[in-house]
Amino acid sequence: MTYPKISQEISDPVNENIQKLAGLFPSAVKDGELDIDALKQELGQFEEVGSEKYELTWAGKQEAKQTSFKPIIGKTLKYIPEDSKHPDTTENLFIEGDNLEALKLLRQNYYGAVKMIYIDPPYNTGSDFVYNDNFKMSKEESDIAEGNMSELGERYTKNRKDQNRYHTNWLNMMYPRLRLAKDLLKNDGVIFISIDDNEVHNMRKLCDEIFGEENFLNCIAVKLSESTGVKMAHVNKRLPKLKEYILFYKNQEVLINPPSVPKGKWDKEYKHLIIGVSKKELNIVKSVMNDDNMSDKKLKMADDICSKITLSSVSKLFEIHHNISESEKMDILKDNAWRIVRDVATTGGAKIIADKKKQETDAPFFIIITPQSKKYLIKSGYSSTAEQPRIKLLFADHYLTVNPGDFWGDIKTTGLDNEGYVDFRNGKKPLKALKRIINTVISGQDIVLDFFAGSATTAHAVMQLNAEDGGNRKFIMVQLPELCEEKSESFKAKYKNICDIGKERIRRAGEKILEENKEKEGIKELDIGFKVFRIGDTNINWLHQDLRGEDLFEHYDKNASDKDKLDFTPDFTDMDVVYEIMLRQTDIPLSSKVEQLTDIGERTYIFADSFLVCLEQTITWKLVDLLAAIEPLPVKFVFRDSAFDDDIALKDETFRTLSALIERNSCGEKQTYTVEFI
């Protein structure tokens, strides 16, 4: 009997696409092969007009396309618990390694699951590093050819402008990464890409081809600081460079929340803005507020107008949190502002809910005015001393907002790779810009991916936004462990590579956010943790080759058995094997909980509460009975072939028993899970 095996390949996008085409156009797929001519005919193309087409092309484009489709074999993600924070509860990930490999490793688990991708790739300025994706080269060959390598063996090289393949190298790096990124986006997902003049034209063409020209939304211009622009102009002998770009593409359909930014100054027309009334009604109220001899009729009109101004109707715009109790707050929310003012005046106690000194609060403010608070009458510009109480709603300068459109003049990035890694100040990717981008498209539960993570500003922005609005956005950061230059402040501060900087930035930022919001309800539930994974070689000896001839046995743990040495590679751990199996499941986040079932065995694990991995060295009837009795029953069981020794009857009965239980629990639904072996 042939038993199902765990696949060595994590995903097979080529075969998946062929199967999709076969479903749409059966005549175009014959014996598993695509018939291009038949497909063209299905699409109404019965003859080729010419070989030339309007498209971006370069030397190596076909190889770059092939790179994106090549399955990743022999690689896995190794869990690094000592670098992780709150690993048992967090839903966030930090992955160290080449992002091309990372995207391929994530594809099976996160296909169509990511709502937003933001990347800040190398701008190809002539001094940037680009990844060398020729993984066939040996370490020694790569060292000789490129001269640069991280301590983990990931290859990257400086792309100088004097090289013949200057643009080609950059395009070859970006194409497969963007192609794989598209697979991870949800149908309503979006991607934002920071870029500058060096490659913005090529990036547009790449994205038009990969995401579709019709899915281009905006090319956002972001203002650089004037000092940076002047400095760069002096070096380049050009006009000052005052902008960079963020390209904005959607996958299919997407709902955009247009970002709003503060106006720099008070707007004269809305200086006395009162929410919920027309401009005509506003003028009536303003005239009453500035005329002591107003008629009773006009006062009554103003009273009626102000009665429309309920705080609950503008609850999104302001928050009451100065000098009032919870019961008073509830009364205010239930009632209208005008009546509250009148009641306060009647009892002889003027109340300032918030005053102009509090402009730095997190909400707009308003002032309740009575004759007893003349100092505020003067500050607010009133000269009236009438007994009729007055109300005026004011908004601080930075709460008067406008839609910034596609020019963001208030960000002012430095334009330099100057993140301030040691103290984590804003730099090339300001926190303000990332928060605005995320808020444009992300709801409270979505995943944000950044696979050029740098110092992890994106992760910082996600945590900050979650603290502000109570959301539960998750982040996935991917970064190559590029070494810090010995002359850099980061190196002097004991950071070996960019990944170390990013992880520390997340740790510090998370703790700071908690401290700054410690009085906020529910803040203790904020997810400031992350699980760390590092790309490494496979832990499974897929072909069960005897490795003794390669002098590798000495690298195994001294307690490793002969079966372990035949089933797994040197330096493996059980947890590494479990996560490697998890990578081959669909729609299972890598943040899923992994538990050891100590009541069943020493090496039996379950992840996502549904997938059981049994790494016991010997399977017995008693063990099978224990597994079959688990409630709720796992949807998949994975065993080691070697654990059954030569007992074919036990292996066959185990497979049949557990498969039947799984099928019975599926309630007649299409069977997608089974019993598999490694």
At 489 the pLDDT is 82
> H-helix or E-strand containing 305?
helix 296-306
pLDDT for 60 beyond 90: no
Burial of 381 (0-12, 13-18, 19+ CB in 10 A): exposed
Residues 6+ apart with CB under 8 A from 401: 260, 261, 262, 263
d(CA 462, CA 449): 10
What value, to the nearest 5°, has the Cα angle with vertex 203 and ends 200 and 206? 155
pLDDT for 511 beyond 60: yes
At 240 the pLDDT is 81
Check if the beta carbon of residue 643 is closer than 8 Å to that of residue 619: yes
pLDDT for 350 beyond 70: no
At 568 the pLDDT is 92
pLDDT for 603 beyond 90: yes
pLDDT for 136 beyond 60: no
Q: Among 84-93, 413-422, 523-532, which is the least confidently predicted range?
A: 413-422
**For 107-112, what is the mean pLDDT?**
94
pLDDT for 229 beyond 70: no
| Structural domains for the chain | 69-260+403-534 (3.40.50.150), 268-396 (no CATH), 541-571 (no CATH), 573-677 (no CATH)
pLDDT for 527 beyond 50: yes
In which band, very low, low, confident or very high, does the pLDDT at 383 lie, cut at 50, 70 and 90? very low
**For 421-444, what is the mean pLDDT?**
71
CA-wise closest residue to 180 among 68, 93, 101, 20 = 68
Q: What is the mean pLDDT of the chain?
A: 75
At 671 the pLDDT is 57
Check if the beta carbon of residue 89 is closer than 8 Å to that of residue 164: no
**For 130-141, what is the mean pLDDT?**
50
**What amino acid is encoded at 5 in this protein?**
K
At 386 the pLDDT is 34
In which band, very low, low, confident or very high, does the pLDDT at 12 lie, cut at 50, 70 and 90? confident
What's the pLDDT tens digit per position in 351-373? 333 333 333 333 333 333 333 33
What's the pLDDT tens digit per position in 625-668? 999 999 999 999 999 999 999 899 999 999 999 999 988 887 76
Between residues 356 and 30, the one the model is more confident about: 30
**For 446-465, what is the mean pLDDT?**
95
What's the pLDDT tens digit per position in 562-577? 899 889 998 899 999 9
pLDDT for 299 beyond 60: yes
CA-wise closest residue to 173 among 449, 419, 451, 429 = 451
d(CA 573, CA 541): 13
**For 99-124, what is the mean pLDDT?**
94
In DSSP notation, 191-239 reads EEEEE-TTTHHHHHHHHIIIIIGGGEEEEEEEEEPHHHHHHHHHHHTSS
At 164 the pLDDT is 46
Place of tokens 């991916």: 449
Beta carbons within 10 angstroms of residue 423's beta carbon? 10
At 100 the pLDDT is 95
- C-alpha distances out from residue 534 to 71, 118, 479, 582, Å: 19, 21, 10, 15
At 56 the pLDDT is 86
pLDDT for 519 beyond 90: no
Supply the pTM of this predicted model: 0.74
Between residues 62 and 320, the one the model is more confident about: 62
